[in-house]
Chains A and B, each alone.
Chain A
């Protein structure tokens, strides 16, 4: 070898290396700015496309819990303009165990796989080969996209013509995995993160908004202070009580700054006892003067405020205005007595449910008696009473109760069956009203009445059942009536059509006619359309199909009930109805049918002696 040719040779190799480096550099640059699946595919596929590939696809691989690649989904695809392959399209998922070539390769190796001739390459399994052949692929290259031994995806190039891979191409395809792995990993991580972040953000926003909403809507004043008695924050209600425009104005101030400064020392003492003991102080009821000078009853609770490490950094306080409750309580006592009196004289039962103890008192013991129990025999807890309610009615009764608890303007008025001592059921009408709620609006006490409505109810039920029976009978009669097949004589059936005819009904009619022909061995079908209100081209079309179907089954059709209006419509719409007989009314149709069958019967009679 001469020195000159040696140098040329080496120069050529250096040039090829440089070429390769520049190709890889370009791909790498494009990859760096790629943000979407399409951009990643575009960056990775330029080289293959330049070398004749008719399509390129980027697939993401999802592994099963054993880390074996299981599904591959096309997330980006490029096809040469004009090339359409339905076998391979965006979003398509491949179950890898169905394609043993891919499964084996993906499980055992992480090198690029080049298949020069799809038609006869022995490595390909039949499914993979068919898939490629149907897509018109002759040559293919599959490049693994992995990172740290983990499968991320696949890049595939396909050629419509047989393609020979040059050494340079092989080198580039083998370099792509190392180059693309990080980008694809980032992209997939990003996709995951975006998913997680959007979920978490939604959760966080939701919970913060929820907290703010709660703080601003509960009928409680809520505030929190540091160890030195400086306010750190409060809700709208406290701000209003303090005469402030917004809750943020309270930050940094102390009780000394507000209308309740006379009580500041006492509050400070309460705060300190909570801060120092770490024990909450709950439900302190006190009478004091508000900002406008009126006297109010407050019920206050204070609990220690802790930081993340558990150290007490202040106090969280809540108070509610219980002035109205205090007054209501004294009024209630009177009204309760009046109610009991009224109830007793009206001969209805009265119940009184205390939510705190969950006990139900039956004031005049009418209910237990009504249910066949001796006074005192019935356990008077809510739980025991709930068990007596018929399971079919319980949901509805609880729903009615919930509705009344949530909105007092919704009356609690509900009917339900209650089990008697002998196991039978009795209908009872219950009504009630919540007469006492706690600071949170939660019910504390509910008073109501009950009434035996068993007789009325059973009567109504029976009536309802009868009504349902009649409706069902009518419905069935109607269903049959809508496609009623009436056999009138040997081998003649009549189908009077009543009402509109849509596509579904037309199909029912056709099926009924075909079944009727078989069942009654009909030779003539009379379709009477007197009762079809409108005959337009749609109805004409449907009827025509039925008539053709009947003919293919071996029966002739006569359409009767062609009124003057229908005749006009048929001609005006240019509908061709000359392939079957049409007549004015059913009578003339019957005459024609009998004439035809009679003629035929005579012939058959002569022939086989029937």
Chain B
């Protein structure tokens, strides 16, 4: 297991199915420690799970970073960064639609994750990899 904890940042190397459950479990704990209500911490855990599994399915290897985050206006939140050097997503708009899947899943991973978070950015280059950054603010 490759987990690196530095201050309030969690770095996960995703390369095995167990990394998916470890990252979501520890990410949820970080969210709870930061004072997120249980419902929000659950949503954060699900998003970590979705992003980590996407890495595993499409890129085989990648990293997920979960960290305490402070916005420019001082508000606090949690930031999830998922990054891989996999094949990339050829049609991003389509991938962000409910029900779109190339892996036989429910096709809710990206579009659903976006609904669960407050901010969601995705950058993907075919042949280069995919980077997803998502933020949920503490209310």
Contact = CB atoms under 8 A, between A and B. Distances in A.
Given a CB threshold of 8 Å, the question of whether A touches B is answered with yes
Interface of A: 82, 84-87, 94-95, 98, 127, 130-131, 133-134, 136
B57 interface: no
Nearest to A95: B7
B7 A134 contact: no
Nearest to B11: A134
A86 B129 contact: no
Contacts of B129: 84
B2 interface: yes
Contacts of A86: 63, 65, 81, 83, 131
Contacts of A133: 2, 13
Interface-central residue, A82, A130, A133, A134, by most chain B CB under 10 Å: A134
Contact of A84 (B6, B65, B131): B131
A87 B11 contact: yes
Interface in B79-109: 81, 83, 85
Nearest to B65: A86
B16 interface: no
Contacts of A95: 6-7
11 contacts: A84-B83, A87-B65, A94-B6, A95-B6, A127-B4, A130-B4, A130-B13, A131-B4, A133-B2, A134-B13, A136-B85
Contacts of A136: 85
Contacts of B11: 87, 130-131, 134
A518 to B, nearest CB: 16
B81 A82 contact: no
Contacts of A85: 83
B128 interface: yes
Nearest to B83: A86
Contacts of B2: 130, 133-134
A32 to B, nearest CB: 36
Interface in B42-92: 63, 65, 81, 83, 85
Which of B4, B13, B128, B129 is the most central at the interface, judged by chain A CB atoms within 10 Å of its CB? B4
A98 B65 contact: no
Given A86-B81, A87-B63, A127-B6, 7 more contacts: A86-B63, A87-B65, A95-B7, A98-B7, A127-B4, A130-B4, A130-B13
Interface residues of B, number: 14
Contacts of A82: 128
A133 B128 CA distance: 19
B131 A134 contact: no
A345 to B, nearest CB: 60
A86 B129 CA distance: 12
A133 B12 CA distance: 11
Nearest to A504: B139
A436 to B, nearest CB: 48
A87 B83 CA distance: 10
A94 B4 CA distance: 13
A98 B4 CA distance: 10
A156 to B, nearest CB: 17
A365 B65 CA distance: 76
A127 B128 CA distance: 27
Nearest to B61: A136
A138 to B, nearest CB: 14
Contacts of B63: 86-87, 134
A466 to B, nearest CB: 34
Question: Which of A85, A86, A136 is the most central at the interface, judged by chain B CB atoms within 10 Å of its CB?
Answer: A86
A136 B61 CA distance: 11
With a 10 A CB-CB cut-off, give which of B63, B65, B81 has the most chain A CB atoms.
B63
A512 to B, nearest CB: 14
A82 B123 CA distance: 13
Contacts of A94: 6
A86 B65 CA distance: 8
Nearest to A128: B4
A98 B13 contact: no
Interface in B1-29: 2, 4, 6-7, 11, 13
A544 to B, nearest CB: 13
Interface string B98-129: 00000000000000000000000000000011
A421 B4 CA distance: 69
A130 B11 CA distance: 9
A133 B1 CA distance: 13
B3 to A, nearest CB: 8
Contacts of A130: 2, 4, 11, 13
9 A-B pairs with least C-beta separation = A130-B4, A86-B83, A86-B81, A134-B63, A98-B6, A134-B13, A134-B11, A95-B7, A86-B65
A563 B15 CA distance: 54
A134 B11 CA distance: 8
A95 B6 CA distance: 8
Contacts of B85: 136
Nearest to A92: B9
A171 B83 CA distance: 36
A363 B16 CA distance: 90
A131 B131 CA distance: 18
A98 B8 CA distance: 12
B58 to A, nearest CB: 16
B71 to A, nearest CB: 15
A375 B65 CA distance: 77
Contacts of B7: 95, 98
Nearest to B131: A84
Contacts of B65: 86-87
A134 B7 CA distance: 17
Nearest to A130: B4
B68 to A, nearest CB: 13
Contacts of B6: 94-95, 98, 127, 131
Contacts of B131: 84, 86
B81 A134 contact: no
A130 B13 CA distance: 9
B136 to A, nearest CB: 14
A507 to B, nearest CB: 9
Nearest to B6: A98
A84 B11 CA distance: 16
A127 B5 CA distance: 8
A98 B129 CA distance: 30
Contacts of A131: 4, 6, 11
A133 to B, nearest CB: 7
